[in-house]
Amino acid sequence: MSEQPIRFAPPGSAQDVEEGRQFTPRFDAGGLIVCVVSDARSGELLMVAYMNAEALARTLASGQAWYYSRSRQRLWRKGETSGHTQRLVELRTDCDQDTLWLKVEQAQAGACHTGRRSCFYRAVALDATPPAPLMLKFDDEAQVFDPAQVYRKHDDPKA
Amino acid sequence: MSEQPIRFAPPGSAQDVEEGRQFTPRFDAGGLIVCVVSDARSGELLMVAYMNAEALARTLASGQAWYYSRSRQRLWRKGETSGHTQRLVELRTDCDQDTLWLKVEQAQAGACHTGRRSCFYRAVALDATPPAPLMLKFDDEAQVFDPAQVYRKHDDPKA
């Protein structure tokens, strides 16, 4: 991999950003861009993660999804520990180019480090409003793999 | 609306956050949480926006989607200018409760302020890698309303 910082073309005018044909991803003050990740075949929302410019460049170069972990402050390739890699099928951007949408082919059973196919296995019960406690309902909660088997004790528990 | 700051229950242990039944949304250092918004009926990804605690509380109380604009630094109710409101059908959260997924019933034709149904009307052409310029392909680009008609000159151009 290059040691040079990766640079994408900087955003132009609002008109250019919204109606133009140049990809000018808008990273936030911390250098990150939010990524919505869905299953290319089923359309299911799998996870949301972040990329910095290098993660995006590696993803484009390799066709495999790379992200940047805010908590661990490092690049990670999805599946580097678990084998649950993601092959990039389509990359979309939104009107102001500050969000990416990856459609991926998810290897193995699941995208979520808890063992589920998707990270979104709980819904908020909509029959209470604050300050009443808001509760979650589990659905789509079946584990498709055992995290204790996939991630060993000293492994990075999300990669 | 209450003048009191809205408080949601604070996150507990990782085990509680990931496997528990209490909704403890994790707002970032700026007090925001990212929201993926899809059409409840078609499943289509419409947009990505942010909420602060008050926007989330208002959404839960009203059943209509409220967001927080980072650029304008204010709360906004989706459709307050355009009429393109969003009725909350389902609210989901991810494993570490730092992302929300709203399934909504989108009023009128489109969610995007550019006139499209979805903000994600462009895909990145995957046949180049940096430093080669990355180009966008328009698809799903048909305007379903005319922004010049919907937003008058002094309107907030995204609400």
> Tell me, what's the ipTM?
0.90
Contact A96, A87 (CB under 8 A): no
The overall longest dimension of chain B from CA atoms, in Å, is 53
Contact A1, A58 (CB under 8 A): yes
- pLDDT band for position B32 (cuts 50, 70, 90): very high
Q: How far is A157 from chain B (nearest CA, A)?
A: 12
Which single residue is written with the structure tokens 């993803």? Answer: A59
Residue type, B151: Y
Contact check, Cβ <8 Å, B134/A61? no
Single pTM value for the model: 0.91
**B123 or A141, which is more confident:** B123
Contact check, Cβ <8 Å, B34/A34? yes
Burial class (CB in 10 A: 0-12, 13-18, 19+), B22: middle
**Beta carbons within 10 angstroms of residue B44's beta carbon:** 16
| CATH annotation of B14-109 | 3.10.20.810
Domain ranges of chain B: 14-109
For residue range A2-24, list pLDDT tens digits in order. Answer: 456 678 999 999 999 999 999 99
Q: Kindly write down the DSSP assignment for every residue of A51-112, as one continuous string.
A: E-HHHHHHHHHHSB-EEEETTTTEEEETTTTTS--EEEEEEEE-TTS-EEEEEEEE-SS-SS
Q: What is the pLDDT of residue A96?
A: 96
DSSP conformational letter for B154? T
Contact A88, B126 (CB under 8 A): yes
Measured between alpha carbons, how far is A118 from A48 in angstroms, rounded to an integer? 10
Q: B115-124 burial by CB neighbour count: b if 16+ within 10 A, else e?
A: bbbbbbbbbb
Q: How far is A24 from chain B (nearest CA, A)?
A: 8
Chain B CB contacts of A45 under 8 Å are 36, 38, 45, 101
**A129 or B22, which is more confident:** B22
For residue range A109-147, list pLDDT tens digits in order. Answer: 788 989 899 999 999 999 877 677 899 999 877 888 888
Please name the member of A19, A90, A113 whose beta carbon is closest to the beta carbon of B95: A113
| Per-residue pLDDT at B156 exceeds 80 | no
pLDDT averaged over every residue in chain B: 89
Q: What is the pLDDT of residue B45?
A: 97
Measured between alpha carbons, how far is A98 from B98 in angstroms, rounded to an integer? 18
Please name the member of B92, B95, B136 whose beta carbon is closest to the beta carbon of A123: B92
Q: What is the pLDDT of residue B3?
A: 54
Q: What is the pLDDT of residue B6?
A: 74
